[in-house]
Each structure stands twice: as structure tokens, then as C-alpha cells.
Amino acid sequence: MSEDPGLVLRRLLDAALASAQPAQCLAPHLPEPPAGRTVVVGAGKAAATMARAVEDHWEGPLEGLVVTRYGHRVPTARIEVVEAAHPVPDAGGREAAARILSLAEGLGADDLALCLISGGGSALLTLPAPGIALADKQAMTGALLRSGAAIDEINCVRKHLSAIKGGRLGAACHPARVVSLLISDVAGDDPAVIGSGPTVPDPTTFADALAVLRKYGIEEPAALIRHLEGGSEETPKQGDPRLAEAETRMVATPAMALTAAAAAAREAGYEPVILGDALEGEARVLAREHARLARNAAPGTVLLSGGEATVTVTGAGRGGPNAEYALALALALDGAPGIFATACDTDGIDGTEDNAGALVTPDTLARALDAGEDAAARLAANDGYGFFARLGDLVMTGPTLTNVNDFRAILVRR
């Protein structure tokens, strides 16, 4: 039990990430080759590594196109990989989505559409509905990300502004066989939310999308509000014959990642307690609750959790939800002895920053005070990145090429 707690926490994170690498988890879910063509399409932060895993294990002809975030490309031989912007979409994503939709529309009954979907797919697979400008979608995305809306709410709006999400891609593949392989980054592993559900029926409506915007007081761009109010051409719903035979297979989930981390915790001599894989809500509120649990936990315990925290941005600082959570946790723990923690996004990118997350130690606040840092002021400014950068406690992984949502671990030393 004498090992550096910071190193133990990093080992738990690494175990979670390894469990979600497509090279390790995708092959058992591949379908049988079809009589006709096999066309691979997909989008997400793990799309390139998923495509390479398909290539490594597929026998027979293979072609296709996937889109991933800038900096997340890996070499492939038969499936083309293009890069685009995330979380705010760009023209590269629009062009890739148009090409993917064209591939889908050219399939026949003997063909297989193998769809690779992972977190980030919503922004990367961006094809505005007819009459919608990309600039307006960019503005709406930015407003939603700042609002504190949950990912299912954001994706509800995205689906109803899109020509490809919300089941439209799957419908375009008809009459081909459609098999979707998913890496989940959402609470509950709902296929209709992961990547905005491009290949599955959409349970949400235009009215639901408008309700989300009203809830968060978003009234612009006006052209998009008018589009949603018009409500023309609803997304494909349950029972749509074009999606009746489509299959969805979950290849990696937050729960699987936490299970792997729990096994690593036991190997390190700690008793893991999994608080849940689908925890949501404001990052700072979640942090205060977890600080309470940590103070009452038995020595030698590691509290593990996943899900997706949100931040309602009111300040001008830098930092995503994991840095915000870590800073709020440090304040709530207030130097409690023997408690160490990390909070990271498993894609290696906390919000829009270059860090995965941050590390909290019992002396975080004391070191901050010595450095002239005001932790409470940093939190009020939503500047977790700046705070932990000053202390040298940002966790930097680089792109992990997978994505199973947030990973949080709180270690209570003996």
C-alpha cells in the first residue's frame, strides 16, 4: 500500500482506456461477410481505430469512409479516414458526411453497411438539413455546449437539424443489411444518443428539440428555430421498415471500462466501489457529493464512477467538465488527509482543451495558496485548466483514440 497514489490512479485510468481500445474489443462483434459489397462508414473519435481493427480482422473485399477528429487519424489500407472539427462542426465534417450518405444510398440488397459509431460522431457527421447553413449549426452547437444541457438534449436538437443523424443514415442504406458497432460515451448506452443515433430509430421529435431550446433560453439562430417549428420530415421512428432489420452491437461501454479499472484497483491492493457508470449533472455538484462519500469511505477504498458531467459556463476561464469537477472536489475535500483523485475524459480531451483531466492531492489547496492561487475564484471563472496548469497537475494523455466518457477515481489511502 506504499505505492504513490498518483501512479495507482494513472494505472486505473490506463486499464479503463485499454479495455475500450478497438484493437482489443471490436473483432468478436464483426458480422459474417455478405454476398455483395462490404462498405464501412462511420464517425467519432474512435472511428479511425475502429476502421483499422475491422481491416485487421476482415476477410474479403472491403471499402468505405469514416470521419474522425483532427489529430485522431491512424493509418488504414482500405477504408479512407478523413478528419474534421469537434465539438463545433466545420466544412470538413459536412463534406465527409455528404460522401458517407452517398455511399449509403448506393447499396443493394446483397450488400453490408458496417457502421462504426463512437462518441464525437454527432459533431463530426454534420450534414445540415436542406435550407440550413453550416454557420447557423455552428452557432447553435456553441450555444448548447455553453448552456449546461445534457448530451441527450444536445443530440435531440442536432438530430432535427440534420440530413443524416437520427436514423437517416440507416434508412439511406436500405435495402442493404446494416450492422452498427458502437463504442458508448453516453449514460445508459442508448444507441439513439451515441453519435446522435444515425442508424437507429429516433424516439425524439421536433417538439422535443424546441423544448430543449426553451429550457435553456436559446433563441438564436432564428432560421434554426423556424426550421424546428416547421417540423417537416420527421426522423425515422420505431417501426420504420427501412430500419426493421438493422442490428446494433455494443463493443465498449463505460461500465466495461470501470470493471477493468476495478480489477486494476484490486491488483494494487485497494477495494473498488463503483458508484455508477452513468452519473450526470453539474460537475461541481457531483464533486461535492463525491467529496462527502470519500470522507466517509474506509481507508484502502477507491471510488470509481463514469458518466458525463456538465458545466454551465458563466466565466471566461479555460477547462472542461473534468477539470471543473477536480477543482470543485479539491475545494470540498479542503485538504482532507490521505484522499487523492483524478477525473479525466477517456478520449484524452477535456472539453476543448489539450488535457484529459486533472489530479487532486491532499495538498492541492496548500500548494495553490503558496503559488498565490485562489481556488474558489478559479472555479467561479470556470478556469479549472488554469488552476491545475499552475500546479503542474493536469493529466495529459494525448488523443486516446477511444471514448467511453468521463472516468473518475477517488483513492482513500490507508
| pLDDT 10s digits, 136-145 | 999 999 999 8
Q: What percent of the chain has pLDDT over 70?
A: 100
- Split at pLDDT 50, 70, 90, the class of 78 is very high
What pLDDT was estimated at residue 298?
97
Instruction: Please write the tens of the pLDDT for every residue from 245-264.
Output: 999 999 999 999 999 999 99
pTM of the model: 0.89
For 404, list phi and psi in degrees, rounded to 5: -120, 35
pLDDT at 384: 96
User: For position 208, what pLDDT does the model report?
Assistant: 96
pLDDT of res. 201: 97
Average pLDDT over residues 67-78: 95
Q: Please determine, for residue 2, whether its predicted confidence score (pLDDT) is greater than 80.
A: no
Q: Specify the pLDDT at position 319.
A: 86
State the average pLDDT over residues 375-401: 96
Q: What is the mean pLDDT of residues 342-348?
A: 96
Q: Which three cell numbers stand for residue 254?
A: 463505460
Whether the per-residue pLDDT at 32 is higher than 90: the answer is: yes
Q: Provide the pLDDT for residue 231.
A: 87
Q: Is the pLDDT of residue 406 over 90?
A: yes
Q: Average model confidence (pLDDT) for the chain?
A: 95
Question: Given pLDDT bands bounded at 50, 70 and 90, which one contains residue 350?
Answer: very high
Q: Helical H runs in 106-182? A: 121-124, 134-147, 151-159, 168-173
What is the arithmetic mean of pLDDT over 73-87?
Answer: 96
Largest Cα–Cα distance of the chain, in whole Å?
68
Q: How confident is the model at residue 340 (pLDDT cuts 50, 70, 90)?
A: very high
Measured distance CA(397)–CA(29) in Å, rounded: 28
Looking at residue 151, its pLDDT comes to: 87
Q: How far apart are the first and last CA of the chain?
A: 7
C-alpha cell belonging to residue 223: 432560421
User: What tens digit of pLDDT does each residue of 175-187 get?
Assistant: 999 999 999 998 8
In the chain, the domains with their CATH numbers are 5-15+255-412 (3.40.1480.10), 31-252 (3.40.50.10180)
Q: What is the pLDDT of residue 317?
A: 87
Q: Is the pLDDT of residue 338 over 60?
A: yes
Give the pLDDT band (50/70/90) at residue 1.
very low
Inter-residue contact 252 to 168 (CB < 8 Å): no
For the cut 80, the answer to whether the pLDDT of residue 241 exceeds it is yes
